[in-house]
Structure 1
């Protein structure tokens, strides 16, 4: 005898899981119809890419292409359809969305799965604040489809029909950690690691000698701020420091911050949105910095997609958002684990 739970495909377990999975299908259909009704075109982004993305702490699945002559070339499963979607904006699409699987290595847990479903949508020549309304609409749609009044996760609740609270990173750090975050960010985006370290020590959190400013920022965010977000009503956390901009453009109102926000409900991050950077030189500089950090931490780096950077030069102003669809279904069904709402989880997890 063993205490190991039966696999997800055991008939009695599948019967327990099936109501959530069928609701997943209905929510997906509703989101597709919602976007189509607003003139968004669904596109299919190829999973195989020259570069999987260039974020320092995202790990990809690597593979290779074998030509008819036996020549081999490295390829990766994408961590996001972002590069492909932006090239389609450069090609002339005005409103588009991608609803498909993405792949991230080194990630597995109650909120993470190595293969998951991401909904990304883009608006050409529209400000990123519009995406905040989009996110609110999608929360309401998921709740309506599920026939619920509250999103729930591990004892936390959130009213998806309530107006989203909006909180800047600076205000969140001041309110929940007592830290003046922007005092450690210069007008040119340079960060004061030692200044932030001193402030973090004052909160009682650990500071290691090799911690970077970004490490400390992430530690405070995870430990002191995220647990408070999306409680009672959804929270939009916006105006990230420009050093955390990724592919977002700087704010015209304050060069220390960028046009980026994240959506939270029940303490869970659901979406990440940008006013898109369209400067290929600046984007290349950021990619190089991210890959240098990846090399330092993980001893590896990924190629930089020259074709994407060339397309970026032709890309119009736009805004875009990525939403973790599985997490949304979790909150709509009250599921405690992401594998509860995935039809066929990858072997080796908790299911």
Structure 2
């Protein structure tokens, strides 16, 4: 599968890259916990580093500098994770396609997944066809169908979302908390079961590193891919506005420090922020390669396709 992945991207004119794993800034996602390490110079100076949670920042700097299409099969680390679908160390496939919009990237992702997976896969006793057109469903459509709520009209109002969803709001639960609870409990269990599903156009508060839609600023140009209840990939039409990205990073850092005051603090990636204005219109995606192998082999758990830990 690794060989087939390299052949797929090389045939499409992608350049394979390899970026550092130990970095000063490992990412900015609020709820991801990191592994800390230290670099010692020959002169005895010490610098605190972290194992990255994604190669995204470094890869976007490469695209900004070169304009090239790039891909990487990278080892990534996320501390404190462990379940049937999570591991503290795993392989992430990321690729960045200058000139591609969200529809283009979904087309390319669908072609890649079909190339790597058999015509059908088995997951939790269910047969999922892969050789069919993948479903494309917006988050708003998914919440209307499976939650009975208007997720965009209620954004930021946890009580209104809870009322429409017919559920009790938990003590201290924010709109974002409730959004992800409903996504986990009511949406994810029912999508991607009959065929793979792209869940698209996320609420703007969940944009992360994605652009917001010029036609509807309530939504971000972001999608995730689900196959048989497995979240396989997360993608953005990449934000190139450094001022907006800095504001989002600072907001995430404030929230992370409030939620996890004992966790380490690292510097903002000023090199990335400096490079963003040079980033051409680009779409990028991170795909859990181990999960793809798990689906291909029919293994129920990630640990079944890893060598001994």
| Of 15, 20, 25, the match for 1:46 | 20
Output the CA distance in 1 between the equivalents of 2:14 and 2:127.
Answer: 31
Q: Which residue of 2 aligns with 1:260?
A: 222
**Pair 1:164 & 2:134 matched:** yes
Q: Pairwise CA RMSD of aligned residues? A: 1.3
Q: Deviations over 1:318-351 (max 9, x none)?
A: 1101100000111111101101112343xxxxxx
Deviation by residue 1:33-88 (Cα, 9 ceiling, x = unmatched): 01100000100011011111001011111112222332222111010010010000
Offset from partner CA, 1:149-171 (integer Å, 9 cap, x none): 31122223311111011110001
How do 1:181-220 residues align onto structure 2 when only pairs under 5 Å count?
181-185=151-155, 191-200=156-165, 202=166, 204=167, 207-220=169-182
Instruction: Verify the 8 A CA contact 2:190 2:229 in the aligned structure 1.
Output: yes
Q: Could you say what secondary structure the match of 1:231 adopts?
A: coil
- Which deviates further from its counterpart, 174-183 or 124-133? 124-133
Q: Does the 8 Å contact 2:225/2:231 carry over to 1?
A: yes
- Residues 268-279 of structure 1 aligned to structure 2 (within 5 Å): 268-279=230-241
Please say which structure displays the higher CA radius of gyration.
1
For the pair 1:153 / 2:107, whether they are aligned, the reply is: no
Residue 70 of structure 1 is matched in structure 2 by 44
Q: Please tell me whether the aligned partners of residues 54 and 302 of structure 1 are also in contact (alpha carbons under 8 angstroms).
A: no
- List alignment gaps of at least 5 residues for structure 2: none
Residues paired across the two proteins, number? 307
Question: Residue 70 of structure 1: SS of its match in structure 2?
Answer: coil
Which structure 1 residue ranges, 5 or more long, are not aligned?
A: 1-26, 186-190, 346-351
Question: What is the correspondence of 1:1-351 to structure 2 with a 5 Å cutoff?
Answer: 27-143=1-117, 148-185=118-155, 191-200=156-165, 202=166, 204=167, 207-299=169-261, 300=263, 301-345=265-309
1:197 deviates by 3.4
Q: Which has more strand, going by share of residues?
A: 2
Q: Which residue of 2 aligns with 1:22?
A: none
Q: Secondary structure at the match of 1:319?
A: strand
Between Structure 1 and Structure 2, which shows a larger proportion of helix residues? 1
- 1:74 alignment partner, SS class: strand
- TM-score, normalised relative to structure 1: 0.85
SS in 1 for 2:202: coil
